[in-house]
Structure 1
Amino acid sequence: MVVLNRIYTRTGDDGTTALGSGERRPKFDLRVSAYGTVDETNAAIGVARLHVKDMAELDAMLGLIQNDLFDLGADLSVPQREGKAERLRMVSSQVERLERDIDSLNAKLAPLTSFVLPGGTAGAAYLHLARTICRRAERMMVELAAKPDEPVSDAAIQYMNRLSDFLFVASRAANNNGAGDVLWIPGQNR
């Protein structure tokens, strides 16, 4: 369990922050930006949940995801190093659960005939916002993983890739299972 008795420490006043390993990095460091953007994804999902409370199954799925995203932040905040004790890491079963949830929601959706614009219900719009933030976090994680000595677990990257798919399908579920989707009409405003 995490115990936070004191919220401010003043240690970040110099523009650095501590990773979970204790190592200090600049606040603009790509690893810090990646787990910060994962946190931003989580916050956007929290807002979306306010608008899908009446959809118990979807809300429960989103609640599990929010907890997973804290696991993912913990994973990213402690770079994997050979010979070091393992910390909390994302695992394939979390990715597999997302895949099952995507399949469950998708089975109820009307087939798509065009790309979907963010909108419809408030819940769907916020889920689209969370999806775009999630994609940004994923891009940062992939960029980080491409750097020497900046490992990112495969399961962490896979999770974020599936999460953006989940959030897309969830937005359609929040739009009356796709009936309320706002479809893109190519060239409509020419």
Structure 2
Amino acid sequence: MKIYTKKGDKGMTGVFGGKREYKNSARMECLGTLDEANSTIGLLRAKLENDHEWQQGLHRIQKDLMDMMSHLARPSVSTKENRNPHPEDGAEFCEEWIDQMENAMSSPSDYFILPGGNEISALCHMCRTQIRRGERTLVGLMQEDPECVYDYIMSYVNRLSDLFFTMSRAEMDKHGVAEEKWNLFLYKRKKKS
């Protein structure tokens, strides 16, 4: 079977269940953005040593993103069953990993951080911002087809951006690289007032 079908040459593409949509639809924008994020996570994994402590968790996230994208690709009006698993425990998985990293760091995070530091930290920020964009496109898809965006997907994607922020900090902390702080988090400022 050839990779090219020529069916998309007029700006339409197939979705789960056989329906066709324009390539700039809310669904395609969402799927494309999450696919970009997944590719950047793949780049992050490629930059890490094969036995790095993050490899297994990042691999799970990549597979979970593929499963979630398969469910988002299925319009709620489709009668075709999607047998891919629902990674419903993804938000909790992220929270446990975040807590573990934060407990191991030398200082808590009270500030917005300028992205950078070193290559791995900067890649974590790239993952974070692409995931955030994916979250915004999820909202657009939810407004168009609310029944196809499961609650766990919104929670998981929201938590992923927190995870990648924490990973960037953990990487800097591990290598003794000082964070470039920008501003105190708003909720922290209110507490100090």
With the length of structure 2 as denominator, give the TM-score of the two structures: 0.84
1:98 maps to what in 2? 94
Greater alpha carbon shift after TM alignment, 175-184 vs 62-71: 175-184
| Alpha-carbon distance change, 50 to 100 in structure 1, aligned in 2, over 3 angstroms | same
Alignment of 1:1-190 (within 5 A): 5-53=1-49, 56-81=52-77, 85-88=81-84, 90-109=86-105, 110-147=107-144, 151-177=148-174, 179-185=176-182
Listed one character per residue, the Cα deviations across residues 114-154 of structure 1 (whole Å, up to 9, x for unaligned) are 32111111011011011101000101101211235663111
| Alpha-carbon distance change, 149 to 59 in structure 1, aligned in 2, over 3 angstroms | closer
- Does the 8 A contact of 1:114 with 1:183 survive in 2? no
- Does the 8 A contact of 1:172 with 1:178 survive in 2? no
Code of the residue aligned with 2:60 in structure 1: it is L
In structure 2, C-alpha distance between the alignment counterparts of 1:35 and 1:90, rounded to whole Å: 16
Identity score, percent: 35
- Does the 8 A contact of 1:119 with 1:181 survive in 2? no
- Does the 8 A contact of 1:49 with 1:123 survive in 2? no
| Alpha-carbon distance change, 65 to 119 in structure 1, aligned in 2, over 3 angstroms | same
Q: Equivalent residue of 2:116, what SS? A: coil
Q: CA RMSD in A?
A: 2.2
In structure 1, C-alpha distance between the alignment counterparts of 2:74 and 2:67, rounded to whole Å: 11
| Structure 1 moving runs of 4+ over 4 Å | none
Structure 1 unmatched runs, 5+? none
Shift of 1:178: 7.8
Code of the residue aligned with 2:161 in structure 1: it is S
Q: Equivalent residue of 1:124, what SS? A: helix
- Does the 8 A contact of 1:35 with 1:73 survive in 2? yes
Count of aligned positions: 182
